């Protein structure tokens, strides 16, 4: 994909201060990001069941809005375990690289007794912080709302303005939480007419991991010669996957041995 094409598929996320309500509204048409998500799946020969794919798309959309509502230097990663459908979702991104990425795991997923939402946040001041919350909700937006209520003790609402345009409204100090709690999708679609919105900033995001073979090779550093032989099983090349986005890269035995010998 050309650099020009990448620029064309960036998603603009606009953040507004809702005056007199003391709330922050972030809004974006996530459609271009989904285009690159599907191109990524096609390029690397991946296919997801429709229900799992919808959860992953909602996770990517929710994370994008969340990142735009947070400080520029903050990185976020969400790992979400579902018992039905049995899968793990992983999404991550940051505003500095203007990127979000993610994948779904449907094989060898551990069967447990509860769904879990695990969030890791990293910034330049506090290092890495982790929160874990169990949930019962099925809709991903309701899951995110529940997470923020339980983990951050902060009110956050997510809405589907239309099929691919989403809105996230988060409480700020002295927020009118009664108003925020009672908002409906119809109210959000009329927000421009019923509330006074002040544009604070725009940020841009695209679906992209930035992975390549050189970045994945360090994960192979702990392999023993016996395990390498077992992996290749007489073949000269094996596919390896990026743990963040699932991209597949062919790895020759010689490339791996040269890397291990020179690291």
Q: What is the pLDDT along the chain (263 residues), one digit of tens a residue?
A: 233 334 457 999 999 999 999 999 999 999 999 999 999 999 999 999 999 999 999 999 999 999 999 999 999 999 999 999 999 999 999 999 999 999 999 999 999 999 999 999 998 888 899 999 999 999 999 999 999 999 988 899 999 999 899 999 999 999 999 999 999 999 999 999 999 999 999 999 999 998 988 888 888 777 788 888 888 888 899 988 899 999 999 999 888 888 888 87
CB proximity list for 193: less than 8 A, separation 6 or greater? none
Q: Write down the CATH superfamily of domain 3-207.
A: Hsp33 domain (3.55.30.10)
Q: CA 9 to CA 257: how far, in whole Å?
A: 38
Joined tokens for residue 131: 């929160």
Task: Report, in this order, helix, strand and coil percent for the chain, each rounded to 5.
Answer: 35, 35, 30
Contacts of 77 (CB under 8 A, 6+ apart): 90, 91, 92, 119, 120, 121
- Lookup result for tokens 């020759």: 252
CATH for 213-262 is 3.90.1280.10
- Are the C-beta atoms of 158 and 62 separated by less than 8 Å? yes
CA dihedral 30, 34, 37, 43 (to 10 degrees): -150
17, 18, 14: which is closest to 27 by C-alpha?
14
Residue with token string 């009329």: 190
Pairing status of strand 11-18 against strand 23-29: antiparallel
Those residues with Cβ within 8 angstroms of residue 51's Cβ, 6 or more apart along the chain or in another chain? 85
Domain residue ranges of the chain, discontinuous segments joined by +: 3-207, 213-262
Q: At what angle do helices 253-262 and 225-232 cross, to 10 degrees?
A: 160
The two three-digit tokens of residue 106, written as one number: 């449907």
Its pTM stands at 0.90
Residue 2: its pLDDT value, please? 32
* CB neighbourhood size of 113 (10 A): 7
């Amino acid at each position: 994909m050309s650099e020009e094409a990448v620029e064309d598929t960036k998603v603009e996320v606009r953040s507004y201060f809702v005056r007199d309500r003391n709330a922050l509204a972030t809004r974006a048409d996530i459609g271009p990001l989904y285009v690159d998500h599907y191109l990524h799946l096609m390029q690397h020969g991946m296919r997801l069941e429709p229900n799992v794919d919808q959860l992953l798309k909602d996770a990517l959309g929710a994370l994008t809005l969340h990142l735009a509502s947070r400080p520029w230097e903050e990185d976020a990663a969400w790992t979400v375990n579902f018992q039905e459908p049995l899968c793990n979702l992983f999404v991550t991104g940051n505003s500095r690289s203007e990127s979000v990425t993610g994948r779904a795991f449907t094989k060898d997923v551990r069967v447990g007794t509860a769904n879990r939402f695990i969030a890791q946040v990293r910034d330049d001041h506090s290092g890495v912080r982790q929160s874990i919350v169990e949930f019962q909700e099925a809709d991903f937006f309701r899951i995110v709302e529940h997470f923020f209520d339980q983990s951050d003790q902060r009110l956050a609402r997510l809405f589907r303005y239309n099929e691919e345009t989403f809105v996230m409204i988060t409480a700020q100090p002295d927020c009118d939480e009664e108003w925020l709690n009672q908002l409906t999708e119809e109210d959000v679609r009329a927000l421009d007419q019923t509330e006074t919105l002040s544009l604070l900033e725009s940020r841009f995001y695209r679906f992209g991991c930035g992975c390549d073979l050189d970045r994945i090779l360090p994960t192979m550093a702990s392999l023993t010669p016996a395990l390498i032989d077992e992996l290749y099983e007489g073949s000269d090349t094996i596919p390896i996957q990026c743990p963040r986005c699932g991209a597949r890269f062919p790895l020759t035995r010689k490339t791996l041995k040269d890397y291990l010998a020179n690291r």
